Structure 1
């Protein structure tokens, strides 16, 4: 695995980089050697945040954890990634390299039930009205939702605005 470690408002020391590489080493058996792992460490007030993104074969594994201690955040993020792999084992087998889930490789502690199918409990339909991003955020807040899909009046493409954990907003735009 190739590690790309960066920091925002924090100097990434060799000790932190070493800890990330050691902990992520547990996941190496699931990926090809040329898989890139993007790790971003940041500090916001007293929160030590780590974001780990692993794009491979059209799938993205992602974990974001915050704690008072960066080392604890790293441990939690690795646990989240392991849980995602275990939970989606069957679907991911097709994307990861062969034998990634052989019994000798797959020894993550704890029994997490594997998801066999996705259940859609509710489906909604609504008319798309072209609007600007600010109007979509206002509409989302008025509805009390965490995200809102809309037709962007400026680009004429379907976009999604969402509320982030830090209280700010995000925008998802399609890329073709």
Structure 2
């Protein structure tokens, strides 16, 4: 998987990079058909007293793109929230791919026909 981690108004340290990669391993354990992904870590200074940490990820899967974002006052907590949301979406996508709501016609029992006795 190609993974691009970037920062917006934030320098991405090796510790942050390793933390994101280690958390993404949990998602890859459930679903291994991930082609590439991009993670954006950002800091928004809307209010002087409170800084809002924001994490966004865009995963390109074999048949779908998944976008997840989360915000928190702590960057590591925001990453954990983002991974939880992403994990739920990936598991739901995997269940939809593998779920077989109806059996194939050839495996359904044949209807019994009323045949008069001879």
What's the CA shift for 1:49? Answer: 0.4
| Structure-2 residue corresponding to 1:81 | 86
CA distance in 1 between counterparts of 2:20 and 2:86 reads 13
Q: CA deviation at 1:51?
A: 0.2
Structure 1 position 37, deviation (Å): 1.5
The match for 1:31 is 32
CA change 1:41–1:93 in 2 (3 A) is farther
Q: Structure 1 residues 54 and 93, CA, compared in 2 at 3 Å: closer, same or farther?
A: farther
Q: Deviations over 1:127-146 (max 9, x none)?
A: xxxxxxxxxxxxxxxxxxxx
Structure 2 unaligned residues grouped into runs of 5+: 46-50, 102-118
Query: What CA RMSD, in Å, does the superposition of the two structures yield over aligned residues?
Result: 1.9
Using the alignment, how far apart are the partners of 1:24 and 1:72 within structure 2?
14
* Structure number, greater radius of gyration: 2
Structure 1 residues 62 and 92, CA gap change in structure 2 (3 angstroms): farther
Taking structure 2 as the reference length, the TM-score comes to 0.71
TM-superposed CA distance for 1:76, in Å, is 0.3
Question: How many equivalent residue pairs?
Answer: 94
Structure holding more helix per residue? 2
- Residues 10, 43 of structure 1: 8 Å contact kept: yes
Shift of 1:88: 3.6
Unaligned runs of 5+ in 1: 95-115, 117-176
